[in-house]
Amino acid sequence: MLSSSGLTVFLLLAASSVHAFGQACSCSDVLLSGLQVNCNSLNLVELPHLPPNTTELHVQDNRLTSVSSGQFDRLVGLKKVSLSGNPFHCDCRIQYLRSWLLKNKDIVSQEPRCASPISVAQKAISELSDEYFSSCVPTICTGGTYNIVMGLMLCCLIFLLVWTLTLARNSTFILFINKKHSKFKVDSLHSLKPKHRRRLPTDLSEVSVDSDELTWTDDLERPLMSMDLLPQVLDVLHTKHNIKIKAT
């Protein structure tokens, strides 16, 4: 006698099985034992949706060639499973079932065997070695693919940034100075931080420095710096800042 919950599960399972395979698995909700699902000899080519409270599953003598990945993972209450009599094709798709069988040997009543390919025919699925699946390519989910693509893009961005910084450090800057501006005070070569910058007037004039303040005069001919210091200044600019100054 089915309980109300068991009857509901039975109807849902039967409807889904009939729709997909033409025949329905029978279910019985046994008190204390849990839900028993019998799908023996129904010509099933794949397992139907199973209730999570299934404790016994019988799927003998059908046409199963593999079990979908994760099919048994939510059936944590399984106590007995029979899968024998199915023509399992032992290729890369059988890896999930093999792993599950290795972890749950004690609840499998009869070991399912490979029907094909010929090299492993009649061999127990759980006895397949890791080397047998060495040629299988791991399945990468969509999320994994997205992470790989984003990682590659990030690596490319970092490479471009490093390359740009390296190129900038190795670049040579050449500053051309007109002869009439070739004499200037050493203080004018101090830090070029924003606090030292001033907006230049539209007409050219000479710059003199007094306490880090810039003052414009109209006299362009008065010498501002001894020419003896110029080679030293040029050498410092070239060796430390990679800046070359040429007079025009």
- Single out the residue in 85, 116, 133 at which a domain terminates: 133
Are residues 18 and 93 both part of a single domain?
Answer: yes
Owning domain of residue 205: 172-247
For residue 4, name the pLDDT band (cuts at 50, 70, 90).
Answer: very low
* pLDDT over 70 (residue 124): yes
Task: Dump pLDDT digits (tens) for 205-220.
Answer: 444 444 444 454 555 5
**Within a domain: 164:** no
**Block residue for tokens 């397949």:** 128
* pLDDT over 90 (residue 95): yes
| DSSP code at position 47 | P
Are residues 123 and 180 both part of a single domain?
Answer: no
Are residues 57 and 106 both part of a single domain?
Answer: yes
Are residues 10 and 115 both part of a single domain?
Answer: yes
Are residues 123 and 196 both part of a single domain?
Answer: no
Are residues 129 and 53 both part of a single domain?
Answer: yes
Question: Would strands 80-82 and 88-89 be described as parallel, antiparallel, or unpaired?
Answer: unpaired
**Number of domains, the chain:** 2
Query: Cα–Cα distances in Å, from 135 out to 63, 69, 79, 178?
Result: 26, 18, 34, 72
> CA 109 to CA 57: how far, in whole Å?
10
Top mean pLDDT of 3-12, 20-29, 185-194 is at 20-29
* pLDDT over 80 (residue 51): yes
pLDDT for position 19 = 39
Are residues 51 and 103 both part of a single domain?
Answer: yes
- Single out the residue in 102, 133, 164 at which a domain terminates: 133
* pLDDT over 50 (residue 191): no
Are residues 18 and 129 both part of a single domain?
Answer: yes
- Single out the residue in 133, 156, 191 at which a domain terminates: 133
Are residues 78 and 184 both part of a single domain?
Answer: no
Read off the CATH number of the domain in which 17 is found: 3.80.10.10
Quick one: tokens of 197? 């910058």
| DSSP code at position 41 | T
pLDDT for position 130 = 93
**Within a domain: 140:** no
> CA 21 to CA 48: how far, in whole Å?
9
- Predicted TM-score of the model (pTM): 0.50
Rounded average pLDDT over 81-110: 94
Among positive and negative, which fits the CA dihedral 76, 79, 85, 90? positive
**Within a domain: 167:** no
pLDDT for position 196 = 47
Of 9-18, 129-138, 160-169, 234-243, the least confident: 9-18
Max CA separation in the chain (angstroms)? 116
